[in-house]
Amino acid sequence: MRLSKYFLPVLKETPAEAQIASHRLMLRAGMIKQASAGIYSWLPLGFKVLRKLENIVHEEQVRAGHIPMLMPTLQSADLWRESGRYDAYGPEMLRIRDRQDRDMLYGPTNEELITDIFRSHVGSYRDLPLTLYHIQWKFRDEIRPRFGVMRGREFFMKDGYNFDLTKEDALHAYNRHLVSYLRTYERMGLQAIPMRADSGPIGGDDTHEFLVLAETGESEVFYDSEITDLKFGDREIDYADKAQCQAVLEEFTSRYARTDETHDAAIFNQIPEERRRVARGIEVGQIFYFGTKYSDPMGATVQGPDGKPVAVHMGSHGIGVSRLVGAIIEASHDDKGIIWPEGVTPFHAGIVNLKQGDGEADAACEKLYSALKAKGLDPLYDDRDERAGGKFATMDLIGLPWRITVGPRGLKNGVVELTSRRTGESEEMAPEAAVEKIAEIYAPHRGEAGTVEPMADRSFHTWM
């Protein structure tokens, strides 16, 4: 993309209403614009990141054997009356009356709707196990929306639902979700720690929240420092293998890690003092096992092996996709702006032309731009007639991990400058070498056609 043809309305001023870094930086970098309280338009740069996160979530869910579908945003109140949650949910549920005076609502979550689909179409234990999910806009009428997309009212969420014959199978589904979430967050450049949590309005006995450590987190968290050494990494996992998934659960949840809701000082104090950590965390996902809480009242049964009806064991599992954009920025920024992890960056590299209009500099930039695109990379070329300082500031603000600087002086020596946004370190090299190096850096993120490859990166594909 050429910046002169793009829509990237960066702001010079820091917006007064933004209290935390991610909100400030998303506004300043032209990623979002508030449409009304707690509701945002995703400007092109923000939408690109949001879409990348969505694709990573899809890929990891499909890899785990879960099936994508899509439920609508508006739901009928009737189903919620069946489960008993219509009255229980409180004022955060946005209630709507249509022109025929029917009670509707903007879905904050989808347990009822998916259970209705299940009971309408599935009749036998032979059709289990089954996990369906979707990624859809939700609404929660927060009394005090704030922190930008971190606590908005209209938000984009992945929610998945497992249907199993037994508790044991349902706990395997729980474990599959835990594993797939660990992979998902790591691909986004995040460390998200599963912590024993409280189930809230979803209900259920078993639940873990995934928290990203950040000073601006809404939850106080208590954990054993050993947990931050754990990495899922690129190990192979067979999602059908119960023991393998259970082992991952145990590895990642056996050390103490709890939010303030479930914190137990007596247990915490048994950890050696030098490993005890108290910090703040941002919740970016949660998994639940809740048994027959919805299948019982809603009659979601299957015929068991003995011919008798069995209420299915369920769980639900969410990832806050729009909120993750903010969480990644909270975890990765500095005074100058955002620092995108390679897996989610909106563009792979920026090209800064120090002397727009200079024949040689322009030609070198065009050549770099084409060479990067020929490698399947997605560069952003700042081809505006602006001062170098302004161009650098924009690139630093929007946070592309790599910048190539092209100027007449370097070109005389046959070199351009390759700069890491994270370290600030620069290296001079031939333009071809810079292209090769960037291609190498992104190689682990390249998706392979027709397969679910680790770290597939949709930006190598066609439309963005």
Distance, in Å, from the CA atom of 351 to the CA atom of 406, rounded to the nearest integer, reads: 7
The whole-angstrom separation of Cα 72 and Cα 417 is 49
b/e code 330-344 from CB counts within 10 Å (16+ = b): bbbbeeebbbbbbbb
* Distance from C-alpha of 211 to C-alpha of 22, rounded to nearest angstrom: 16
Peptide bond connecting 129 to the previous residue in cis, omega within 30 degrees of 0: yes
Give the integer Cα–Cα distance in Å for 71 and 117.
10
Query: 149 or 354: whose CB is closer to a copy of itself?
Result: 149
Reading the block at residue 59, the tokens are 């890929």
Rg, Å, the chain Cα set: 24
* Minimum distance, C-beta of residue 146 to a copy of itself, in the bound complex (Å): 14
What's the min distance (Å) between Cβ of 154 and a copy of itself?
5
Decide: 202 and 224 in contact? Cβ < 8 Å: no
Q: Which CB sits closer to a copy of itself, 189 or 454? A: 454
Which C-beta is closer to a copy of itself: that of 171 or that of 377? 377
Three-state DSSP class for residue 92: coil
Instruction: Select 124 or 270, whichever has its Cβ closest to a copy of itself.
Output: 124
- At 297, list the tokens: 């009242």
Alpha carbon distance 246, 1 (integer Å) = 45
Taking each helix axis as running N to C, give the angle between helix 321-331 and helix 21-28, from 0 to 180 degrees, rounded to the nearest 10. Answer: 100
d(CA 163, CA 250): 23
Nearer to a copy of itself, 62 or 441 (CB): 62
Least distance to a copy of itself, CB of residue 231, Å:
23
How do beta strands 67-68 and 130-139 pair?
parallel
Classify each residue of 140-173 as buried b or exposed e, where b means 16 or more C-beta atoms within 10 Å of its C-beta. bbeeebebbbbbbbbbbbbbbbbbbbeeebbbbb
> Which of 39/430 has CB closer to a copy of itself?
39
Least Å distance, CB 256 to a copy of itself, is 35
Question: The tokens of 314 are what?
Answer: 């369920």
**Quick one: 132 or 257, whose CB is closer to a copy of itself?**
132
217 or 326, CB closer to a copy of itself? Answer: 326
What's the min distance (Å) between Cβ of 57 and a copy of itself?
Answer: 9
- In 3D space, the residue among 127, 109, 26, 19 whose CA is nearest the CA of residue 67 turns out to be 127
Among the listed residues 151, 110, 200, the one whose alpha carbon sits nearest the alpha carbon of residue 323:
151
Query: Minimum distance from CB of 257 to a copy of itself (Å)?
Result: 30
Task: Decide whether 268 or 460 has the Cβ nearer to a copy of itself.
Answer: 460
What phi, psi does 102 have (nearest 5°)?
A: -85, 140
